[in-house]
Structure 1
Amino acid sequence: MPDHRTALDNEPEFAQPWAPHRLRIYTGVALFTVAVFVLITIAVSVGVLPPSFTVDVVANLMFGIPVILLPFVLLWDAPGENRTRIDKAAELTLFYLPYTACSQIGYELVFLIGHPLGLWTPTDDPGWKWLWWQYALADTRYVSGNPWIFALEIVGVCTGATVFAMWTRLIRPTLPTESRIRCLWVAFAGCAVLMSSTAVYFLAEVGAGFANIGQGAYGLGFKFIAENIPFIVLPPLVLYAIHLQIDYLTRRAGVDQAHVVEKADPDEQRLPTARN
């Protein structure tokens, strides 16, 4: 785990910029969310819990609220921690990439696979499909053969997988600077694509007058809007954070290259340029 640093002491920590308490919270919320997903889905599929509106509300509050609030942990400094702007940018990036990628892959991939298999026909007994079925009760476009949603699913899955692959490289402390810059550029493009697809997802439904939104105020206010707020608010901040890192690393790479050239030929002297 990296020590807490200041810009005057060391270079920014790009691969593991988080303090231990923030990392524990990120990991804990991720494990808790997965556990709730899996346990409730299994409980519904074996008949321990009914696929009722009450179970729907309780489950979404259990895993939805922690996920919505989790980004605020980024603001919690450890005692004596003095993070630079680049440190915060690196942590925001490394937090958001798996945050959005897992959402895209976890939700959209199953919906995408289910369309050609005919899994999303209307039913009151979803079984193992409960997790996706309950969200489709709020946004019926997922089970109505909507071509826009099908296209967004393909984009989301492909881009999410790409972004996640970049994250697995960016968390490596030994990743060379040039490789890190390339990965950040790919992550920047991926986040830009996902931000655009999110805009299409929401604006298309706004244009339809929310005709495809079910479950009343709960479906509109909590499922459709609240649970997606992080994916509306964070992407512009992440794009700026990636820009800061690319700018810093590119400038540093230029300085390092100049030092290499200087060391390779230390006795070289520039002759004065002749004037006309």
Structure 2
Amino acid sequence: MTTLLDHEPNFAHPWAPRRLRIYAGTALFTALVFVVLTIGVSTGIVAPTFTTDVVANLIFGIPVMLLPFVILWNAPGEKRSRLDKAAELTLFYLPYTAGSQIGYELVFLIGHPFGLWAPTTDPGWKWLWWQYGLADTRYVSGNPWTFALEVVGVATGVTVFVAWTRLIRSDLTTESRIRCLWLAFAGCAILMSSTAVYFLAEVGAGFTDIGQGGFGLWFKFIGENVPFIVLPPLVLYSIYLQIDYLTRKAGRAAVVKLS
């Protein structure tokens, strides 16, 4: 049970400046690597080889995989409650997962009717998505289950992102914040379920759709997706803590108002 605290957590901006700089810096670095490689492969400066694939995934994959640990780093003199950390984890994860769904799944989804994922050795601007399709061939083989997961992922990702844009508003009322948190809870629960289907379906298939050997299996298919396996249950619990606290706060305020 969540009890009322002596201090009011900053639900809209719970992060210390140094952690926020790391979040933003990692996002910018990852985007820059994506853009540079896309331009490089499109212009022929960078060859779309397996070596390029490995090096690029290590460069942008490892920072993204380690980024969630930054949440545990307290600034000098900072004392955070469990609720403070819960708020930060929630506001960190919502754009983190939404960006993945919109950035990856949306392009795959749009590409299917236009035949963008036909086998090729010269992917051009499609390199970012093409290289992942080499590891998980379901994305480029017209697999109906993967198509369904893409539709769910994109729709839910957009919904979660919209909820996040409201949750970071300092002027959001308690009632509105509770509603947005419920929306985020539902979205994260859906994405957690679809992630389970995504992995278990391939386990049931005996990993027959996984390419690029050990690198494709352990780093791309499993490693780069570990945050989306481990974090969702923690995020759901974090959202629960906030809803519980804010609901009790709203109820207490209503009683005071009526008395």
Residue 168 (1) aligns with residue 165 (2): yes
- The aligned counterpart of 1:269 is none
Q: Residue in 2 aligned with 1:183?
A: 180
For residue 242 of structure 2, the aligned residue among 241, 245, 248 is 245
Q: Aligned to 1:35, which of 21, 32, 36?
A: 32
CA distance in 1, matches of 2:54, 2:41: 14
Q: Residues 197-212 of structure 1: matches in 2 within 5 Å?
A: 197-212=194-209
SS of residue in 2 equivalent to 1:16? coil
Q: TM-score, normalised by structure 1?
A: 0.92
Aligned residue number for residue 69 of structure 2: 72
CA displacement 1:205-251 (0-9 Å, x = unmatched): 00000000000000000000000000000000000000000000000
State the SS of the aligned residue for 1:116: coil
What secondary structure is seen at the aligned counterpart in 1 of 2:112? helix
1:18-51 alpha-carbon deviations (Å, 9 max, x no partner): 0011000000000000000111011001100000
Cα distance in 2, alignment partners of residues 8 and 185 from structure 1: 21
1:90 to 87, 91, 97: 87
Give aligned-pair identity as a percent. 77
5+ residue gaps, structure 1, are: 1-6, 263-276
The residue type paired with residue 90 of structure 1 is A
Name the CA distance, whole Å, in 1 between partners of 2:84 and 2:176: 19
Shift of 1:10: 2.5
CA RMSD of aligned residues (A): 0.8
Unmatched segments (≥5 aa) in structure 2: none
Distance 1:175 1:59, change over 3 A: same
Aligned match of 1:117: 114
Correspondence list, 1:132-151, <5 A: 132-151=129-148
Distance in 2 between residues matched to 1:104 and 1:8, nearest whole Å = 35
Structure 1 residue ranges (4+ consecutive) displaced by more than 2 angstroms after TM superposition? 7-10
**Aligned with 1:254 (options 246, 251, 255):** 251
Paired residue total: 256
Deviation at 1:62, TM superposition (A): 0.5
CA distance in 2, matches of 1:72, 1:221: 20
